[in-house]
Amino acid sequence: MVNEGDFGINVSYEFDLFGKLRRGVEAASADSDAVAAAGDLARITVVAEVVRAYVEACSSGEELAIAQQSLALQKERVELSRRLRDAGRGNQTEVTRGQTQVDTLAADVPRYTARRRIAQYQLAMLLARTPSELPPAVMTCNKVPQIKQPIPVGDGAALLKRRPDVREAERQLAASTARIGVATGLLYPTVSFGASAGYTGVLEDIPTIPTARWAFGPLISWTFPTNGARGRVREAEADSGAALARFDRVVLNALRETESSLATYAADTNRFDSLRIAYKSAAESADETHRLYAAGRESFVSDLDATRTLTSTSAQVAAAEGQVALDQVNLFLALGGGWEAESAADSKAATSAPHQAAQ
């Protein structure tokens, strides 16, 4: 019995004459970019949710503080009514009406307290912490955060570059298009150039010169398209068409979200400005009416109505300010977030149509 052996090494290089390998690399690279864009989308979404929860906590804290101030103000009015009643300048009906307003305002305090706690719980969940582990500034925040510089809206091209979902859809479209080239390349012959060397023969004679072998030269192989290759081309083309339709949908949705966010932000900002003017007028009216009532030159009903208008307007101002801050968060998300620091010239171009936040 004779033992035979075969030892060697084979090396080959495939020539990419028909672009199959090149298009495969393009598809893999585009898939990698799409995954990175999906990661960016997840990150800015989480950031937006964290900021939204923080704004909700601060906004409800501000509304709670205003409700408590309004309650204290109305209690002062009731106390004055009692003193005037005891001095013979008022009656019990006025005191009762004022106390009713006190009870009504007191009923709103638990609602704002609950909203604040819910927002804090939401923020703690997003930060993977317990509510007790939140920073003290979050627990005591009672002023809505404000931005002090224009939001870099930019033009449509800048928007599409910033939004991760648009980048993801574009990269998926590029990958689908590249796979058409990969499937088409399978219809053509495969041309490779290879070399091999080794030893083949009786095991006892290896590695001697008589057992040495080597080979060097080209190799052409061609599988006729009877195994579904043409069907794979049509499948790749159909996938590319679907990716194109998805890209169009994402782009249109991005434009819709951005325009809607800008319109809402502008409307709520104008409403907030108008309410601030109304609050200033209501405060002056309530102060003047109360002085006249204390001097006996105005009725209690007028004083009560002026105070009720003031408390209502102050609550509306606080709610409107919180809504503007939430609109800013929504606009950040619609614009894609993640914009980088730019040079002075680039920054000026990117903010050619700025939207100034409420001061």
Tens-place pLDDT, residues 332-341:
889 887 554 4
Residue 77 has pLDDT above 90, yes or no: no
Distance CA 64, CA 357 (A): 23
Q: All domains of the chain, ordered by start, with CATH?
A: 4-350 (1.20.1600.10)
Which residues are CB-contacts of 75 (< 8 A; sequence separation ≥ 6)? 102
Global pTM? Answer: 0.74
Distance CA 43, CA 165 (A): 12
Residue 356 has pLDDT above 60, yes or no: no
Q: What's the pLDDT at 1? A: 62
| Percent residues over pLDDT 70 in the chain | 86
**Taking CA 64 as the corner, what is the angle to CA 62 and CA 68, rounded to the nearest 5 degrees?**
115
Say if residues 112 and 46 touch (Cβ distance below 8 Å): no
Q: Say if residue 187 is exposed, middle or buried (CB neighbours under 10 Å; 0-12, 13-18, 19+).
A: middle
Say if residues 64 and 215 touch (Cβ distance below 8 Å): no
Max Cα distance, the chain (Å)? 134
What is the average pLDDT score of the chain? 83
Q: Report residue 53's pLDDT band, with 50, 70 and 90 as the boundaries.
A: very high
Which of the 8 DSSP states describes residue 299? -
Q: Is 198 helix (H, G, I), strand (E, B) or coil?
A: strand
Q: What's the pLDDT at 122? A: 93
CB-based burial, 308-347: b 16+ in 10 Å, e otherwise: bbbbebbbbbbbbbbbbbbbbbbbbbbbbbebeeeeeeee
Amino acid at 212: A
Q: What's the pLDDT at 293? A: 82
